[in-house]
Amino acid sequence: MPQFSANGLQIEVETLGDPGNPAVLLIMGLGMQLVAWPEEFCLALVDAGYFVIRFDNRDSGLSEKLDGAPPGSIPLAALRYFLRLPVRAPYSLEDMATDAVAVLDALGVEAAHVVGVSLGGMIAQTMASEHPDRCLSLTSIMSTSGDRRLPTSSLKVTRMLLFRPAADADMDRLLDHYVEFFRTVGSPGFPTPERVVRERLNIGLRRSYHPAGVARQLLAIAAAADRSAALRRINRPTLVVHGDADPFVRVAHGIDCARKIPGASLKIIPGMGHDLAPGLVPILCQSLIGHLHTTESNHSE
């Protein structure tokens, strides 16, 4: 997989399919890597006639790490966030959206259908708001507007997010922690066998494990302003997807996003939590590909 210079950083990028086809830019969530996009999901998009672009966000995977930036205190930032006080971060969601635009620049892609999951959805929303000419459409999955009046994560999820294994924990201990985390946030209606979860997480952890980068991404989320006004300015065809069993980003966040983005379609999936479980992939592909085809059909009229 090649690396490109994008927005002054080295960004790891993988492409699938024919570059002559309409592009779909996939933006992954907090601390996750491009390999977290299920292969069958990506190949379904290719088979549907799309050029798929996935990449590691800054501070994750094989992309450049910003270790020169101060890490900050996550518990302190969380406290300030819940008290609705300002939070300082080494970089912003706007910076990460500019990274995504720069990936398109590096590939010579004028505009793409932009699909983001969780933190990736926040970045995708920002891209659609701030760089509308680069977005053919927006799909925001299990994400939020950042409105602080919305319900928070479950206590167990918050605790697991804030208190991670020690820096010197061995691979088995790390793997156990993340398996437990994904069991906690996963989809009760689409349970993934632990063996599969463990295999997928093992691939990611051995490819890259960089907790300081996750902390800085968390700070970027905590420091972000409420995007409600920005969402109301989005003028691209939008699909919002959320699970009704998400304990991390509650379903109210998805409903809120769909209400604030003009003309957005909302797909609530019963039994879906905060993961891309194998059983969800056909449902997600059907909804997404239908959205993309509708967008292109309307654009050609």
Residues of the chain above pLDDT 90, percent = 80
Indicate whether 107 pLDDT > 70.
Answer: yes
Q: Where are the domains of the chain?
A: 3-300
> Is beta strand 23-27 parallel, antiparallel or unpaired with respect to 3-6?
unpaired
Indicate whether 71 pLDDT > 70.
Answer: no
Indicate whether 192 pLDDT > 70.
Answer: yes
> Is beta strand 23-27 parallel, antiparallel or unpaired with respect to 112-117?
parallel
d(CA 248, CA 266): 19
d(CA 136, CA 237): 8
Burial of 42 (0-12, 13-18, 19+ CB in 10 A): buried
Indicate whether 51 pLDDT > 70.
Answer: yes
**Residue that has been written with the tokens 């459409």 in this structure:** 137
Indicate whether 162 pLDDT > 80.
Answer: no
d(CA 176, CA 171): 9
> Which residues lie below 8 Å from residue 27, measured CB to CB, with a gap of 6+?
55, 57, 100, 114, 115, 116, 117, 120, 121, 123, 124
Q: What is the mean pLDDT of residues 1-17?
A: 92
Classified as helix, coil or strand, 26 is strand
Entry pTM: 0.95
Inter-residue contact 100 to 115 (CB < 8 Å): no
User: Domain 3-300 sits in which CATH superfamily?
Assistant: Alpha/Beta hydrolase fold, catalytic domain (3.40.50.1820)
Phi and psi dihedrals of 11, rounded to 5?
A: -115, 130
Per-residue pLDDT at 2:
83
